[in-house]
Every structure is written in C-alpha cells, then in structure tokens.
Chains A and B, each alone.
Chain A
Amino acid sequence: GENVEQHPSTLSVQEGDSAVIKCTYSDSASNYFPWYKQELGKGPQLIIDIRSNVGEKKDQRIAVTLNKTAKHFSLHITETQPEDSAVYFCAAIVSGGGADGLTFGKGTHLIIQP
C-alpha cells in the first residue's frame, strides 16, 4: 500500500517568515495530494490540494508543489501569521476503483514565534 513520509516533525519560524513542509510518497499511481491543517481539539481541515497533472498550485499565502518523478510534494506558507500555528498533514490517494481513503503523513507541528 501507499506510504507517506513527512518532514520535519516540528518547525518553528518567526512571524512573517516562510515555512516549508516536505512529503514523499511511495506509490507512483498516487494522483491526488491534499494538505490538511489540524488545530487542537478539532478535525483536520483541507487547506490546499493538488492533482498529479499539475506541478504547482497557489492560494494566497499558501502554495503546493509536486514532483512526480521524485515522488515528493511540498507545502509553502509565506508571510506566516500567529493563526498559522497548528499541525499540518500531507496525504495521498490513489484515485480509482471507488476506494479513495487518504494515507496521511505523521504531521508537522508548525510554531509561529511572535
């Protein structure tokens, strides 16, 4: 089955700086890569996603890049703000056949220092 590795496990950045979280996946058939943000006591919330036919996607301060050859994808957050502090998860799906359960990485605890 699919395996997703995520790094780093903890990331501390100064407010206003950029943050980058990296993930690798094992199944070359994976074709959908969402990123979720999870705040304490809440369920994960989708913040951005990318499909395998696209190399990069941007939404305001958040961007995701995908390198299918190397089987890795990254989340970039620019101009970080205190409300960005949370745990971020990458995930991957092999879409097809009806089963589309997400395989998650272990998460990155992002800390924004004031």
Chain B
Amino acid sequence: EAGVAQSPRYKIIEKRQSVAFWCNPISGHATLYWYQQILGQGPKLLIQFQNNGVVDDSQLPKDRFSAERLKGVDSTLKIQPAKLEDSAVYLCASSLRSYNEQFFGPGTRLTVL
C-alpha cells in the first residue's frame, strides 16, 4: 500500500514570498490533516478535512495560511506571505476515517530567509 505522498520535500524562500505544498493521501482515506512541526517540538495541527469539508481549522493562521482539498483527495497548503517564524516541517497525514490511526507523510521542510 502506497503511503502519504508530499511534495516538494524541501523549499527555501525569502520572507514575504508565497509557497504551496501538496499532499496525496493514502487511497480511500477520507480524513486528511496538515500539521506544522517546528524544530525541537511536536507537530501541531493546522487543519483537518473530512472528504472535502473542513472539520477543524481553529489553529490555522488564516491571515496568511490557506488550505483546500479538491474532490476530497489531494490537498494543498499555501502560505502567503511567509514570515521567518513559518520555518518548519509541514506534515500531511491521512486516516481511513475519524478516530483511526493517522498515517504521516515524510513532510516538506520549509526555510524562510
């Protein structure tokens, strides 16, 4: 079974630039999550989708972050404009449905200069 795919794996941008990350969940997984992992810390939930609807985006900085999940499959997370403190690994996870094991992708490491 293929795992969660993410791209790109690494991204370096200047502050105030825009960036987008892509996630392809495990086939058939209805629930998709984006987490932000700052160096030396545990992942922090940014947003949760159930199919193509948002379940929880209470910790998403909506003034600069946006996310969508078209057709209930792939998802993109965008930051516009980026700040220095956005430097982190952005992890995508999926699960078959709510309250099941979450499978994580390898993450995208973002560096904002």
Contact = CB atoms under 8 A, between A and B. Distances in A.
A6 B102 CA distance: 20
15 contacts: A6-B42, A32-B99, A36-B104, A41-B106, A42-B106, A43-B4, A43-B105, A43-B106, A93-B99, A95-B98, A99-B56, A101-B48, A101-B56, A102-B45, A104-B41
Given A95-B98, A99-B48, 5 more contacts: A6-B42, A43-B91, A100-B98, A100-B99, A107-B42
B88 to A, nearest CB: 13
Interface of A: 4, 6, 32, 34, 36, 41-46, 49, 89, 91, 93, 95, 98-107
Interface of B: 4, 31, 33, 35, 40-45, 48, 50, 55-56, 91, 93, 98-99, 101-107
Contacts of A89: 42-43
A44 B43 contact: yes
A44 B93 CA distance: 9
Q: Quick one: which of B4, B41, B43, B91 has the most chain A CB within 10 A?
A: B43
B54 to A, nearest CB: 10
A44 B104 contact: yes
Contacts of B93: 43
A94 B84 CA distance: 32
Given A34-B101, A45-B104, A98 B42 contact: no
Contact of B101 (A4, A49, A103): A49
A106 B39 CA distance: 10
Given A41-B106, A42-B106, A101 B101 contact: no
